[in-house]
Amino acid sequence: MKASTFVYPWDVNGDPEAAGRVAALGVRQVTLAAAYHSTRALTPRHPRHRIVTAEHAAVLYPMDDRWQGRELRPYAAGDWAPGDAFGEAAGALADAGLEVHTWVVLAHNSRLGAEHPDTSAVNAYGDRYPWAPCIAQPATRAYLVDLAAEAAVRPGARGTELESLGWYGLQHLHAHDKTGGVGLGEAGQYLMALCFCPACREGYGVHGLDADELATAVRAALEPVWQGAPDDAGWAGVEKLLGEETAAATRAWRDETARSLQEAAVSAVRAAAPDGFQVLLHADPVSYHVGANPGVDPGHILSVADGVVVPCAGGPALLTPFVRQRREAAVVAANLGVVSGMGGSPATLAADAARARELGATELRLYHAGLASDGDLELVREALAGL
C-alpha cells in the first residue's frame, strides 16, 4: 500500500540528513508544500532552527511572468522559504529516492483578504472572513486557477494534491482563535459559511432567492444556536432552520460554483503538466462541508480528478462514499495523523491503515513527517514495515 508523507521545504533545506530520514520511514512519496498558508511550525530535528514562522500565505518558489500587471497575485515567501525553496527541497528528496508531489493550498489566504477585502467571503451579519476568498468571484477564480497550474506543476514533480479547492468557512483556526464558545454544529457552520458578497448575492438571485431576505432568514435561524439550543446535525438541521426549499437553493448555488472551479483548476493543471501527472484533491464526500477538505460530490470529482485525499482523523468512514464511486485506477488516499501532540495516533497506524485498506483505500497520506517527534517517527517506521 503506497504511503506518502507531508513535508515542508523548511524541514529539508539546511538539514543534510532530512531527506534520508524521511526515506527511512518506508514511504515511497512525499507531498511537498509549494504554496502554503501562514503558519507557525515546529522543526524538532533541524540543526539551524526549531520554530519556523511563515507570516503569510506564499508560494515557495520563484513566480513566473503570468502575474505581471495583475492585481490579484501570489505573495513571495520571506526568509522562512527564500528563493526556490521548493525546488531545493524537491531535489534533495528525489536524490533520496522519493517521488515528489506538490502540495498546493488555494482558497485560504489571510493576506489576500487583508489587502483585497472585497475578495473575502461575507456572512449574513456582514462580517468578512479575510482567510476565505469567495470562490464565486470571477477575479478570484482566475487567480486560483492560475495559481493551481503554476504551483502544482513544479520541475521534477510527478503529481499534485490541491487543498482548499472549494468553499472555506468559519472553521479556519485564525491567530489566537476564540470562536469555540458556542457549539455551532454542522447546521450552524453551514449557515455561517453562506457568503453574501456581490457575486453570491447575484448567484442566489439566479436560484430564485432574494439575498436580503435570505440574510434575514439566516440570522433568524441562527438565533437559537446563539442561545445554546441543541445542535441539529447534518443537512436535516439546515433544512429545519432555513426551510427545505431555501436550503436547497443555497446548496445548488454553492455546489455548482465549487464544481466549476474544481473542473477549471484541474483542467489548467493538466494543460500545464506532462503526461502521467497525477492530480488529486483534498476532499470531503459531503458537498455542503467547507474548509481545507471542501465538500464534493464523490462521483463528480472522481470523473474530474485522478483521485482524492480523504481526512480520516475521526475514523475512516468518509472513505466509503468515494470507494463506492471509484473508477479503475482512481486514487482514494486515507489521510492519517501521525503527530501525537496534534491529536494523531502513530501507535495505531498499522491498525488504522489496515482498516482503511479494508474499506477500499488505495494509498495512505501521513501528516506530517516534519512536525512529528522522534518517537512518533519510530512508530511510523515500525507500522510501515509491517504493511
* Domains and their CATH numbers in the chain: 2-179+257-385 (3.20.20.80)
Give the count of beta carbons closer than 10 Å to the beta carbon of residue 328: 4
CA 291 to chain centre: 7
Residue bearing cell 438565533 = 223
Which pTM was predicted?
0.96
pLDDT band at 231 (very low <50, low <70, confident <90, very high): low
What is residue 173's predicted lDDT score, i.e. its pLDDT? 67
Residue 372 has pLDDT above 80, yes or no: yes
- Reference 329, options 294, 280, 266; nearest CA is 280
The overall average pLDDT reported for the chain is 95
- Reference 197, options 262, 253, 245; nearest CA is 253
Q: Terminus-to-terminus CA distance in the chain, angstroms?
A: 7
Helices of type H across the chain: 9-12, 18-23, 85-95, 110-115, 138-152, 185-193, 198-206, 211-226, 234-242, 244-272, 298-304, 319-325, 349-358, 374-385
Mean pLDDT of 334-358: 97
| Angle, vertex CA 313, rays to CA 296 and CA 153, nearest 5 | 55
% residues pLDDT > 90 (the chain): 91
pLDDT, one tens digit per residue, over 157-184 is 999 999 999 999 987 666 666 666 777 7
What is residue 387's predicted lDDT score, i.e. its pLDDT? 86
% residues pLDDT > 70 (the chain): 97
Provide the grid cell at 178: 476564540
Q: How far apart are CA 11 and CA 250, in angstroms?
A: 42
pLDDT, one tens digit per residue, over 50-103 is 999 999 999 999 999 999 999 999 999 999 999 999 999 999 999 999 999 999
pLDDT band at 110 (very low <50, low <70, confident <90, very high): very high
pLDDT, one tens digit per residue, over 240-278 is 989 999 999 999 999 999 999 999 999 999 999 999 999
pLDDT, one tens digit per residue, over 12-64 is 999 999 999 999 999 999 999 999 999 999 999 999 999 999 999 999 999 99
pLDDT band at 228 (very low <50, low <70, confident <90, very high): confident
Residue 232 has pLDDT above 90, yes or no: no
Residue bearing cell 460530490 = 297
What is residue 328's predicted lDDT score, i.e. its pLDDT? 87
What is residue 179's predicted lDDT score, i.e. its pLDDT? 62
pLDDT, one tens digit per residue, over 275-320 is 999 999 999 999 999 999 999 999 999 999 999 999 999 899 999 9
